[in-house]
Amino acid sequence: DCGLWFTNESGKEEKAAVFIENKPSVVIAAIPALATGAYQLKIVTRYTSSGGRILKNTKTCIYHTILIV
């Protein structure tokens, strides 16, 4: 499933439901109601930078900076 995901330390994932801006260079989303803890952010997409083409398979980008709630 494509989207912006927040994964806590136990592996539970929460998906951002509201996007304010979603461009190749900028993603701004409303953070869902998250419990206190540390979260890793992950973007799953099927788009590519080559002309906005849609890919058959998803691509995943995991951010190494941890979000603390």
Structure confidence at residue 10 as a pLDDT band (50, 70, 90)? very high
Please check the confidence at residue 7 and state whether its pLDDT lies above 80. Answer: yes
Q: What is the pLDDT of residues 13-64, one digit of tens each?
A: 999 989 888 777 788 899 889 999 999 999 998 776 666 677 778 888 899 9
Please check the confidence at residue 68 and state whether its pLDDT lies above 80. Answer: yes
Please give the model's pTM, rounded to 2 decimal places.
Answer: 0.79
Structure confidence at residue 11 as a pLDDT band (50, 70, 90)? very high
Q: How far apart are CA 40 and CA 13, in angstroms?
A: 9
Q: Which of 14, 45, 20 is nearest to 32 (CA)?
A: 14
